[in-house]
């Protein structure tokens, strides 16, 4: 069973490459940040100095953290497509995080949905949603 995290980037926005990378990075961090915030001050390193073992991670998330943290990047051509994927993921109870850029450096000051992350989750489950979506 392969555990992966999928990053889906909107190509229609024609973001600068660095902006796309930053937005994808935000989407990868989002699920972990959610866990850290939920733990509050209980977050501390274990005996080996490793932090994530003390987090309230699922078995799949722990496996993903311990086996290379595989990430796959895919692309969509509209906000509509991005939001449809998010809706499908939520129906399947797949961990997903929509990233909305504030618009400070691009998008003329307008908050804009730029990307989405799905997982970490089993590849077979993710494929129900993203198998036909083009790789980035």
> Which residues are CB-contacts of 19 (< 8 A; sequence separation ≥ 6)?
101, 105, 106, 114
Task: Name the nearest CA neighbour of 3 among 135, 119, 136.
Answer: 119
User: In this predicted model, what pLDDT tens digit does every residue of 4-59 receive, in sequence order?
Assistant: 999 999 999 999 999 999 999 999 988 777 777 776 645 555 555 555 455 677 88
Domains of the chain: 3-130 (3.40.1490.10)
User: In this predicted model, what pLDDT tens digit does every residue of 94-107 receive, in sequence order?
Assistant: 999 999 999 998 89
Q: Show the tokens assigned to 59.
A: 């078995």
Where is 33: in which H helix or E strand?
A: helix 17-39
């Amino acid at each position: 069973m392969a555990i992966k995290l999928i990053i889906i980037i909107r190509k229609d926005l024609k973001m600068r490459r660095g902006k796309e990378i930053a937005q994808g990075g935000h989407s990868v961090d989002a699920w972990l940040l959610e866990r850290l915030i939920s733990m509050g001050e209980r977050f501390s390193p274990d005996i080996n100095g490793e932090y994530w073992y003390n987090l309230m991670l699922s078995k799949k998330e722990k496996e993903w953290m311990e086996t290379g943290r595989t990430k796959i990047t895919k692309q969509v051509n509209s906000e509509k497509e991005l939001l449809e994927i998010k809706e499908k993921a939520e129906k399947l109870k797949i961990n997903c995080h929509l990233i909305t850029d504030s618009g400070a450096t691009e998008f003329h000051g307008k908050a804009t949905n730029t990307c989405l992350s799905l997982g970490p989750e089993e590849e077979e489950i993710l494929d129900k949603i993203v198998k036909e979506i083009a790789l980035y």
